[in-house]
Amino acid sequence: MASIRILTILVYVIAVPHGIDSRENDYIDSDPIVAAPSPWPVGTYGLLMPTDGCPSTSIYFYTGQRKFDTEDSDPNNNWSSPCHLGGWYGKNNMELQFCIKTVLDVNENAWPAGEYCIFRFGGSCPYGMSEGRVGWDDEDSDNENSHGGTLPDGVYDSNTHIDFCCQTSGSASASINLPTNDNFMLFQYNQYQCQEVDGMRATSEWFRWDTEDRNNEDYDTGSHPYKGVEDDNDDIKLHFCYYERI
């Protein structure tokens, strides 16, 4: 049995990257090669990059970035203090940076039940997670959106549409197991609190995009990070959780 299992794993490692390469994706940087099991749950997906950079010093993650050209007239982006987002941000523009796991691997750990969200990547959500989308109506006048590297599933033109995958079936207060070697981020799904993670201290943080003020077309649908479209209907506010080693 053991030899069959090892053979299965070898075939999987050799075969999977070719399968991924043949998939159409405009936003994939280059041929991903991962030869060793990742400590992160199985599947392809993305995480927000914190100021620390991607977990595991980027061995398992490709990086990318999205500049949002937010409202220029009386601009009012706002964010929590502290805010550990890895990109840069100001009142009238901001950049998100991503950590994208592009390759299925031999890790058999699924994302545990709980209440949190990650970025979708590769066309579908990891097993057990439900999907949704948030649409940012970026600045209409002389829009200067840009992007680079490997991005979450979505559409990145003069507006921004990003797909999410969320665990919604568990409890945020029931601690889950994830790699604790590096600081990282998950999106917050529960309105009131971060998902608890064994061995990590969670801090709830947020960013509010001042999206286009005129005839705003922001939207959110399906399962997405809390909160999504703000009550005033022309801003997007997302909560995320910064996890630090205790």
Give how many residues touch Ca ion by CB under 5 A: 17
> Binder to Ca ion among 51, 78, 92, 124 (CB under 5 A)?
92
Radius of gyration of the chain (CA): 18
Q: Which stretch binds Ca ion (CB under 5 A): 32-40, 43-51, 145-153, 159-167?
A: 159-167
> Binder to Ca ion among 163, 196, 212, 218 (CB under 5 A)?
212
Q: From the CB of 145, what's the least distance to Ca ion, in Å?
A: 9
Q: Is 193 in the site for Ca ion (CB under 5 A)?
A: no
92 vs 130, which CB is nearer to Ca ion? 92
101 vs 237, which CB is nearer to Ca ion? 237
Interaction residues for Ca ion, span 109-148 (CB under 5 A) = 137-140
> Binder to Ca ion among 38, 69, 185, 187 (CB under 5 A)?
69
Contact between residue 131 and residue 120 where contact means Cβ atoms under 8 Å apart: yes
| SS3 state of residue 58 | helix
Q: Is 210 in the site for Ca ion (CB under 5 A)?
A: yes
Find the angle CA(204)-CA(112)-CA(2) to the nearest 5 degrees: 145
Nearest to 34 by CA among 100, 110, 102, 122: 102
Q: Report which secondary-structure segment, H or E, holds 19.
A: helix 2-21
Residue with the shortest CB distance to Ca ion: 234
112 vs 161, which CB is nearer to Ca ion? 161
* Biggest distance spanned by C-alpha atoms of the chain: 66
Residue type, 106: V
Q: From the CB of 154, what's the least distance to Ca ion, in Å?
A: 15
Q: Is 105 in the site for Ca ion (CB under 5 A)?
A: no
Contact between residue 214 and residue 178 where contact means Cβ atoms under 8 Å apart: no
Q: From the CB of 135, what's the least distance to Ca ion, in Å?
A: 10
- For tokens 């209907």, name the residue: 233
CA distance 161 to 166: 16
Binding site for Ca ion (CB under 5 A): 69-72, 92-93, 137-140, 159, 210-213, 234-235
